[in-house]
Structure 1
Amino acid sequence: MIKRLNIVFIFLLMVPAKLFAQKSADDSLKEPLKQVLTEIEARFHVQIKYDESLVKGKIVTFAKWRFRPDADKTLNNILTPLDISFPKTGNVYKLRKFDYPRWTVEDGRQQLDYLSSLYNDVASFEKRKQAIRECVYSTLGLSPLPAKPNSKPIVTHIRQMDGYTIENVAIETLPGLYVCGSLYRPAKSKGKIPVVIAPNGHFQSGRYNKDQQKLCATLARMGAMALSYDLFAWGESTLQFKFEDHNRSLAMSIQALNGIRMIDFLLAQKNADPARLGITGASGGGSQTILLSALDDRIKASAPVVMLSCYFYGGSLSESGMPIHLCEGGTDNPELAALFAPKPQLVVSDGKDWTEHVPEIEFPYLQKVYGYYGKRDAVTNVHLANEGHDYGISKRKAVYQFMAKNLGLDLKAVQDENGNIDESKSTVENEQALYVFGDKGERLPGNAIHGFENMEQVFNQATSGNKQHN
């Protein structure tokens, strides 16, 4: 009996070895990722681009079992476990490390359809609007807003232009934290005049970019007071921080705070009309336009340019680094834009970036929400199918017309005899002319913060009573 038990025991000891041998044979089901991608290209007649470092050494288990009848589902099955995303343009996929703010078009569409199902009238949408707004403020760490420093705005000398003036300004938004801008005013004005705040985007030179300068100068010639200001850790903000600090999560909170405080500054001007405050920005400036319009009730007309998308939230942490898009079970930029309803809103889109689907996806959604208020026509879309990602003249013309209509600006003041927009009298200055603190930053205040970590400490102290949630 004992001998028989020993034989059984020895047999059982042998079983795992056999199973291991069988499992080793299963190794033939593993394939290098690079080889699998080549198979996908051949099977589905697509092109897949990637950096070699992204696929080097990566193995796909049970690769053949992950294939499906179409390329999208196949790539999803193979790449998602490896934290690799695969945005598509035409017939070409470009692999990249998992990019949380960049979805597929279909995922974005389905998310927007889901959000749209959460409300069907003004009451239900207003309830969600309030909940999202409170959550966004809290998630940014800005509920309540930190106290304003007692310092006065720093204003440079006035430069006289053709039909308008320019002066450079800096305000302190936290102790030792300064944001700089350029304020454009009509040369002549009577009574209260409209104001437009113009956060700049991630275009070369930021606030000094020629398109940004022409935008604000032309708005001033139309009768508005227009303010362009630096992104965090761009422009003169780099006197205090490294350029790389712009792509850090807290930059999103700082930019929102800077925008709100710049609105405070604008509306404090003695001839500013608080009933006629507009906002417009492109790309990263469009992200700020959407966010500030959702948060600040003082804004009366909003024009986000080349940014609104249900499947892309912005490629910089300054646009999506704080998890506001997780608020209330998940939201997206079109829903944030919808929070501006029923006030006038213009969405400018083009055919060569993530706004290419606005006419058939995002815009109908906005019209539906505006329709709850009986204001379907208050939201409009100018789609430039043959244009790309910029704040070029076609986009600016659309914004001039929108602001003229909704803020009471004089469009004729910038039209030629044939009725065409003429920006020839809007001067583009050199970068140094727009500085507040001097060519080498020699006039930067002595209490200025230096370094992101020091700024983070100041922010935490100023908001120590606030709770973040999502």
Structure 2
Amino acid sequence: MKRIACLAALICALAALAGRADNNDPTRVLQAGQRPDDSRLGKPRTLNDYFPFTPPASKEAWEARRQDLRQRLLVYLGLWPMPPRPPLEPVIHGKIDRDEYTIEKVFFASYPGHYVSGNLYRPKGKSGKLPGVLCPHGHWRNGRFYDTLEAHGEKGVEQELKSGAEKTREGARFPLQARCAQLARMGCVVFHYDMVGIADSQQIEHRAGFTDAAAELRLQSFMGLQTFNSIRALDFLTSLPDVDAKRLGVTGASGGGTQTFLLCAIDDRPAVAFPAVMVSTAMQGGCVCENCSGLRQDTGNVELAGLFAPKPLGMSGANDWTKEIETKGLPQLKELYRLYGVEENVLARAFVQFDHNYNQVSREVMYNWFNKHLQLGQPEPVAERPFVPVPPKELSVYDAEHPRPTDATGSKELRATMTAQTDTQMAALVPKDADSLKEFKRVVGTALHALVNDRLPDKDEIKSTEIGDNEERDGLRWRKYLLGRKGSHEQVPVIGLMGADFDGTVVIWVHPSGKASLFEKGKLVPAAQRIVDKKAGILAVDVLQTGELSNGKPPEVDKKYAGFTFAYNRPLLANRVRDILTAVAFARSHERTKTVHLLGIDQAGPWVLLARPLCGDAVERTAADGAHFRFDKVHAVDDVMMLPGAVKYGGLPAFVALTAPAELFIHNAADTGIEKWLDPVYQAAGAADRAQRLSEKATEEKVVDWLLR
């Protein structure tokens, strides 16, 4: 008992000391023991949160949002810039004959050594160009080979018939085949292809191969691979001489529904879409193949599906996370489509009497939707007809005469191919003149904007709350604020210091210890004193997990797959950049501000260097410690410097180079490789003399003198 009492006394004493330490910090904005009311200090968002869609006020606002979101999706999916898409050399064989259609077996390489496999359904007795339909299958057991009898036994088949979900035993057993057969009978050329790791796609295990830090840093993901496979599947379909490239549809359910609306969000070729049992404001997709870093930060599946507007979009729901689609999602999408004057081009039907499915009841909604919008000319209402299924083994694309290609590779070799391709694309972006500089900034600048998922806010987007009374201390005016963005749940503590002779120059002070680093033993540290002596003001900021804006806990990151975290939340590093941008925008909005400079001290230097390119003309000069940092030194997904995609786009050197032609001073830059991009970019910008770098660490006096010279 005495030991417990002593331990309790020790804890109380430590707490008291911590409280006194807080009280002794002159830069505190809030009372000791209080933390800012910032949602980022709480639990991270997950795929099971609520994801409503608020339609834009105007068509123009939506078009701008749509362009930005589509570019971001391409970045997150590893498709910015698009990987090479050489002509396909598909193997098509093994024709199976049915009454009104045929089924063929297909495989082709989407990447060198990575094969997409599937079945091609073609109507018989048709001439001319025919509509094409792409069918991703989703997470049904064995995918393209799904058989209810095998998966759930005779009771499963009987339940489908008894409930009214299916009207024929064939449809009850083989609902995926039923979809393709009916569409072919309606006059469509249908390609039903495998998800990675399912059915004939056995080179990479489903959910494996892309879950480590190195994959994150290059945006190599299972979801990105499947999406590129979908793009290549559409390439295959449109390459067929009997397919009308202007009449293309896409439909899949569950994970196939995710692939449907994502493909239609980033590819302009589909004319009509029907994602089944996936679009909702609730659960967003529970597999690694439905999540990747960045994907649903500040958005959700309803808005992602809306990127297809104004083209015809049909959806179905069931007794699952999609059951409320008619009341949560559809009304907002109708409002969006109304901006284009085509409210009738979006439809949703929820069949809550059935569990998660793509059964005959919902398939028939799709058939009628496609009949109308692909102009198939079938008498309505279209009802699914009985068909003769093919035993799943006979649908397999590989056999003795057509074995799996000998160059088929696993995830390790595929990732090496992906890396080599993107490295080649990046090498081609090293600028040599004004035109190539513009292309470098377009590609890498777009990527940085997406990876941080932020931009410099306008002054009317900033929310500032002044805390406490105005103070005058030691000849300096003190102002304390909590900053945030309107509509966000953020509070960033900052302190402003300036003398009576303030000349309108503001230095944004960013330090690993936050604004408390301004003082030591109650006095301004020499660098801060030097700034105010030169008539400049200081705005010191506590970015996330520094100073007052810290809860002492490392950010939670899903250890099995970081995409489950970063799909919905900015990484810590991106949030720190965001807070710097908030401080810059606030400083620029001050009526007495004439010039803003950025100062990144010690390990905060790379934060500042990432923020600077996003500041545009708002910042004149930037001085930062390179801190010997390289993104390829990040080996854990929960590393505080993790920024998915950073290595792919050239790392800190390429991002920093986006600052050109603004003035820049980087010190302590040994081993950073900063010169690889900084030197050619500044030379191409005609500003080689405006960027200075030192291998060694500069003195604080030298850094301040450079900023305020």
The TM-score bracket by the shorter chain reads: 0.7 to 0.9
CA deviation vs aligned residue, 1:405-443 (integer Å, no higher than 9, x gap):
11012434xx8xxx6724312x3212221111227x971
Paired residue for 2:305? 337
Equivalent positions of 1:120-269 (< 5 A) are 120-149=57-86, 152-209=89-146, 210-238=174-202, 240-245=203-208, 248=211, 250-269=221-240
Tell me if the contact between 1:306 and 1:349 (Cα under 8 Å) persists in the aligned partners.
yes
Q: Who is 1:455 aligned against? A: 414
> Structure 1 pair 448/22, CA: closer, same or farther in 2 (3 Å)?
closer
State the identity %: 31
Is the 1:184–1:220 Cα contact (8 Å) retained in structure 2? yes
Whether the 8 Å CA contact 1:287–1:319 is kept in 2: the answer is: yes
> Partner of 1:20 in structure 2?
9
Give the Cα–Cα distance (whole angstroms) in 2 for the partners of residues 364 and 155 of structure 1: 44
Aligned: 1:423 with 2:385 = yes
TM-score under structure 1 length normalisation: 0.73
Taking only aligned residues, the RMSD between alpha carbons, in angstroms, comes to 2.6
Q: What is the Cα deviation at residue 283 of structure 1?
A: 0.2
Helix, strand or coil: the match of 1:237?
coil
What pairs with 1:35-434 in structure 2 (closer than 5 Å)? 100-103=46-49, 107-109=50-52, 112-113=53-54, 116=55, 119-149=56-86, 152-209=89-146, 210-238=174-202, 240-245=203-208, 248=211, 250-326=221-297, 330-350=298-318, 352-412=319-379, 421-425=383-387, 427-434=388-395
Measure, in 2, the Cα distance between the counterparts of 1:318 and 1:246. 11
Q: Render the CA deviation track for 1:228-276: whole Å, top value 9, x for unaligned.
A: 10001111111x1224428857110111100011111111111211111
**3-state SS in 2 of match to 1:183:** strand
1:336 alignment partner, SS class: helix
Aligned-residue offset at 1:151: 5.2
User: 1:304, 1:346 within 8 Å by CA — same for their partners in 2?
Assistant: yes
Q: Residues 95 and 103 of structure 2 are in contact (CA less than 8 Å); yes or no, is this contact kept in structure 1?
A: yes
Q: Once the two structures are superposed, what CA deviation does each residue of 1:119-153 show, in whole Å capped at 9, x if it has no partner?
A: 21111100110011111101211122211345510
Deviation at 1:387? 1.5
Partner of 1:12: none
2:201 maps to amino acid: S
Q: What is the one-letter code of the residue matched to 1:242?
A: E
Q: Is the 8 A contact 1:286 1:306 kept in 2?
A: yes
* 1:458–1:363 CA distance, 2 compared to 1 (3 A): same
Aligned length: 365
- For 1:443, which of 394, 398, 403 is the aligned residue? 403
1:378/1:367 CA distance change after superposition, 3 Å: same
Query: Partners of 2:80 and 2:101 in 1: how far apart?
Result: 38
Q: For each residue in 1:148-181, what CA deviation from the matched residue of structure 2 results, as whole angstroms up to 9, or x when unmatched?
A: 3455101112111010000011111101110101
Contact 1:233–1:246 (8 Å) recurs in 2: no
- Hey, what does 1:41 align to over in structure 2? none
Alpha-carbon distance between aligned partners in 2 of 1:375 and 1:174, rounded to the nearest angstrom: 38
Q: For the residues of structure 2 that align with 1:195 and 1:359, how far apart are their CA atoms?
A: 28
Equivalent residue letter for 2:404: L
Quickly say closer, same or farther: Cα 1:124–1:223, change in 2 above 3 A.
Answer: same
**361 and 438 in structure 1: CA distance in 2 versus 1, 3 angstrom threshold:** same
Q: Is the 8 A contact 1:159 1:167 kept in 2?
A: yes
How far apart in 1 are the matches of 2:51 and 2:337? 20
Return 5+ residue gaps in structure 2 as ranges.
16-38, 147-173, 212-219, 427-443, 452-709
User: SS where residue 341 of structure 1 aligns?
Assistant: coil
- In structure 1, how many angstroms separate the alpha carbons of the residues matched to 2:236 and 2:342? 31
Distance 2:7 2:352 in 1: 63
Give structure 1 regions of 4+ aligned residues with deviation exceeding 4 angstroms. 16-19, 21-24, 246-249
Kindly state the Cα deviation for residue 461 of structure 1 after the two structures are TM-superposed: 1.7
SS across alignment from 2:141: coil
**1:42 match:** none
Name the stretch that deviates more: 121-130 or 242-251.
Answer: 242-251
Q: Which secondary structure does the structure 1 equivalent of 2:356 belong to?
A: coil
Structure 1, residues 339-394: CA drift from partner, whole Å, max 9, x if none?
A: 111111101112x1010111111101100110111111110111212121011111
Please tell me whether the aligned partners of residues 108 and 117 of structure 2 are also in contact (alpha carbons under 8 angstroms). yes
The DSSP-based 3-state class of the residue aligned with 1:196 is strand
Does the 8 Å contact 2:364/2:382 carry over to 1?
no
Question: Runs of 5+ in structure 1 lacking a partner?
Answer: 1-15, 27-76, 84-97
Aligned partners of 1:134 and 1:228: how far apart in 2? 28
CA 1:430 to 1:246, structure 2 compared with 1: closer, same or farther past 3 Å? Answer: farther
Q: Which whole-Å deviations, capped at 9, do the CAs of 1:268-303 have from their partners, x for residues lacking one?
A: 111211111001000000000110010111110010
SS in 2 for 1:235: coil
Q: TM-score normalized by structure 2?
A: 0.49
Residue 245 to residue 438, structure 1, CA distance change in 2 (3 Å): farther
Residue 651 of structure 2 is matched in structure 1 by none
Q: 1:368 to 1:420 in 2, by over 3 A?
A: closer
Answer whether contact 1:246 1:318 (CA < 8 A) is retained: no
CA–CA separation in structure 2 for the residues paired with 1:258 and 1:420 = 31
SS in 1 for 2:296: helix
3-state SS in 1 of match to 2:344: helix
Distance 1:21 1:143, change over 3 A: closer
Instruction: Read off the aligned partner of 1:430 and give its amino acid letter.
Output: P
Higher relative helix content: 1
Q: Which structure carries more relative contact order (alpha carbon 8 Å, separation 6+)?
A: 1
**Distance in 2 separating the partners of 1:151 and 1:121:** 41
Q: CA offsets, 1:303-324, max 9 Å, x none?
A: 0100001232200011013322
- Residue aligning to 1:60: none
Secondary structure of residue in 1 paired with 2:51: helix
Answer yes or no: is the 8 Å Cα contact 2:273–2:314 preserved in 1: yes
Task: Give me the whole-angstrom Cα distance separating, in 1, the residues matched to 2:113 and 2:79.
Answer: 18
